[in-house]
A and B are shown apart, each in its own frame.
Chain A
Amino acid sequence: MTGSARWAAFLPTVKMTVAAIFLALVVGAFLIISSTPRVIESLQYFFSYPWDFFRYSAIAVWDGYTALLDGSIGSWGSLERTVERAAPLICAGLGVSLAFRSGLFNIGAQGQLLLGAIAAGYIGFHFDLPPGIHLVVAALGAIVAGAFWGGIAGWLKAATGAHEVISTIMLNYVARFLILYLLAQEAFQRPGSDDRLSPPPADSATFPTLFDVHLGVVLAFLAALGVWWLLERSTLGFEMRAVGANPDAARTAGMRVPRIYFLAMAIAGGLAGLAAVMAVLGQGSSLNDNIAGTVGFDAITVALLGRATPLGTVLAGLLFGALSSGGLSMQAAAGVPPELAQVLQALIVLFVAAPALVRGVLRIKAEGDGGTVMAKGWGS
């Protein structure tokens, strides 16, 4: 296919995604209006001065969204924050995407990330290694730990047919309580403290910064490139995609389906582990019970929005990073609740998942489908 034909094939998807973002912003505008006190007050005298209501609404929406834009890409500082927030989302999102392409719905990025965080954190603060080497060892440890956690779900699926949705959700719980347990142990606590907080990783195990951005973010983009190569250019990726699209035909063609399931989940877990590397070693964060935030779950949304492709995942990760970073400014500058950013994320994905709705509202003619990624049902 020529470049332009390839682009044309993607166009409907791009259009639908932009439309979904637009619609989400419209709905968000109403939420801003309804959560601004001045606007609500103006409703009490709406029939005497209706103009006030509209004026205040417009100002609130304008202020809110300019703050969002400003806080996400408006300055060097906000760009930095956007990219740093996007990096772990991209990595974990790549893991979910890769599993998706192999026909697996990996809900376990959160757990895999936590395992990675435990490994990165512990290696980071416990050992004393030369700079650079320490960082590499800690990062590799996190990737291996994540891969191990993902691999468990993959192995269960391959060996016993256990559905990966269930096993990864359960492993998320295990991981969550594992980190809580570890943080209650002395080995993981700061000396002389009883808080559920580990010492920060040594400087020798944290990423150097360039223009105030830690260099870990570069890994996210390299990982995306790697996943692209794996999926599109390697025999393993060929097998993964075949198994994901039609496991029966893959098996008939001599592919070892269980092995692919295991490898896909292990690599997905490794990518979530890489997300943990950024979360922990990026700025030298101490392990705590909220070290992963909701990155592992947001990663699922990122992968869905990115249509399970590496490029899409990177773009979706950047968008979510921007929304999260801009959400802070919205609160600070415009008094909009920071939760709105999360609501926007949810709305975007909701609209992406319901292409018919978006087409109906915006009167877009259907051409091909919106390219929603479909998960396999329970039975399969």
Chain B
Amino acid sequence: MKLELRGLTRRFGAFTANDHIDLTIEPGEIHCLLGENGAGKSTLMNMLYGLLEPTEGEILLDGEPVTFANPGEAIEAGIGMVHQHFMLVPVFTVAENVMLGREQTRGLGVLDRRKAAEVVRELSSRYRLEVDPTALVESLPVGVQQRVEIIKALANEAKVLILDEPTAVLTPQEIDELMEIMRALKAQGTSIVFITHKLREVKAVGDRITVIRRGKVVGTAPPSADEAELAEMMVGRAVNLVVDKDAPEVGKPVLEVSHVSVVDSRGHTVVNDVSFEARAGEVLGIAGVQGNGQTELIKSLIGVMRPDAGSVTLEGRDISRRGPRDSLAAGIGYIPEDRSHDGFVGAFSVRENLVLDLYRDDAFSRGLSLQRGAIEENARERIEEFDIRTESMETPVSSLSGGNQQKVVVAREFSRPLKVLIASQPTRGVDVGSIEFIHQRIIAERDRGTAVIIVSTELDEIYALSDRIAVMYDGRIVDTVSPDVPREQVGLMMAGAHQQPAEKGSA
């Protein structure tokens, strides 16, 4: 099926999210949509999927103009979408999830589970999407859950499949598998719209690349285009993809983590006897696939979570059981992985968020009274220094783009003297231009003699910043290696290759 967008425009009040977008997706093509966060990719796809009504322009399927009032109509017309956040019911089986919304019954309202399972089996063998139809979705790894989403779309006879940032949650191995699946789908004539901001993936799998910036199509490119060129189109200026850094001047250990274990509320040991030290002037990267204990480890480092065993000492003082207030006061800077959850208060203004953990400081309050002048001055300076794009300092942070939200958090954490900087996914959902900037600031902080700990699920980021790499798998630090070790080896360690054969068939 051929999908065409002609002059598609969407305005929100005075703001134009999509400005006359023209796009043609040929049958059996993998069309990459490349753009920074906030460039308007999601708005475009939401119009295509019937979630938003276009202000202007039209959508054509095989030359016929169509309009979708809701996703149901889009699905009916053969458009399938795999969202960034999966729309699956965790306590249902794969087959139940696939038949959800179009349940078939065998008289008397009895669900025909066998039929649904057959559909799943049929689709999974045709497209090499290995999945067990009777498995509970919550028991499946993220990569397999994504396959279920794809099967769901295919079961609805999708001819055009939209994948919205599908690789964000996957391991390097799972990404390779997803690309195989995409190629198989393409071979059978399915068109794919692949939304991403990762240049490497675009080049690996795309047939054609359309770059969107500030709601407009700024150009198309073949997959042979080089990365720097694509990045420049995306950001609108030349981007330095490699972080400039000198060899570290490693000092003495600042933060010592010894034998830390964390047991979660369900009784699983999520952090298992982890020990390491962070040294002044050095970046320690903690690599690992989402959900292997990094979140809990970091939370116990800054005192939000209490470790069940072990100790965390900062310059000889145990801080693991004192709570975040003490950890921050002791000189730890913290960039949480889920910024909107832990990093800022969305309803608060930029000005307020820039002092969210600094307001106790003498500079910003006297007794009970906040020093408004100083707080405003601070906001002005940080906005300037970190190039935070905001209408004013009174704008609520929730209405900034992801990259600028992250800059607010980064600006705040860098605005006091630090001994240790812990940054978890510091550039997740952040545009290329801001990534460059945030990375530079992190390295600058390292060079000032701060011990830096970076947690990231993206190997690119780990390799760009780290002086040492610790790999976490299943709650343990599997190994600590130098960044000279090839990526493939670290990728295998992230998938647990040290302990068990690849997770094949674990579904």
Contact = CB atoms under 8 A, between A and B. Distances in A.
A3 interface: no
Nearest to B409: A249
Interface centre among A241, A249, A251, A255 (most CB of B within 10 A): A249
A251 B369 CA distance: 21
Contact of B392 (A1, A235, A250, A253): A1
Given A235-B368, A238-B352, A253 B346 contact: no
Contacts of B344: 246, 249
B370 A233 contact: yes
Contacts of A241: 345, 348
A252 B359 contact: no
B45 interface: no
B304 A252 contact: yes
Given A1-B392, A254-B325, A254-B328, A249 B370 contact: no
Interface string A218-254: 0000000000000001111010011001101111111
Interface in B335-372: 336, 341-348, 352, 356-357, 359-360, 365, 368-370, 372
Contact of A246 (B329, B346, B368, B370): B346
B223 interface: no
A256 interface: yes
B357 A254 contact: yes
B342 A252 contact: yes
Given A1-B394, A252-B336, A238 B342 contact: no
A175 B49 CA distance: 55
Interface string B57-72: 0000000000000000
Interface residues of B, number: 30
Contact of B359 (A1, A235, A251): A235
Contacts of A246: 341, 344-347
Contact of A245 (B328, B334, B342, B347): B347
A235 B357 contact: no
A250 B328 contact: no
Interface residues of A, number: 19
B394 A249 contact: no
Contacts of B334: 252
Contacts of A248: 341-342
B105 to A, nearest CB: 33
B385 to A, nearest CB: 20
B325 to A, nearest CB: 4
A253 B356 contact: yes
B304 A251 contact: yes
B285 interface: no
A57 to B, nearest CB: 42
Contacts of A234: 368-370
B411 to A, nearest CB: 14
B324 interface: yes
Nearest to A252: B342
Contact of B370 (A1, A238, A251, A254): A238
A252 B370 CA distance: 20
Contact of B345 (A1, A235, A236, A249): A249
Nearest to B367: A235
Contacts of B343: 249, 252
Interface centre among A233, A246, A248 (most CB of B within 10 A): A246
Contact of B324 (A1, A236, A238, A251): A251
B368 A242 contact: no
Contact of B356 (A233, A236, A249, A256): A249
Contacts of A238: 352, 359, 370
B372 A233 contact: yes
A1 B356 CA distance: 19
Interface centre among B302, B334, B342, B346 (most CB of A within 10 A): B342
A256 B352 contact: no
A238 B341 CA distance: 18
A233 B367 CA distance: 11
B356 A242 contact: yes
Nearest to A246: B345
A248 B299 CA distance: 12
A235 B323 CA distance: 19
Contacts of A242: 345, 348, 356
A238 B351 CA distance: 12
B346 A235 contact: no
Interface in A134-155: none
B370 A250 contact: no
A235 B394 CA distance: 18
Contacts of B329: 254
Nearest to B326: A254
Contacts of A256: 323, 325
A234 B359 CA distance: 10
A246 B345 CA distance: 6
Interface in A339-376: none
Interface string B165-208: 00000000000000000000000000000000000000000000
Contacts of A254: 323-325, 327-329, 357, 360
B369 A233 contact: yes
Nearest to B343: A249
Interface of B: 302, 304, 323-325, 327-329, 334, 336, 341-348, 352, 356-357, 359-360, 365, 368-370, 372, 392, 394
Interface of A: 1, 233-236, 238, 241-242, 245-246, 248-256
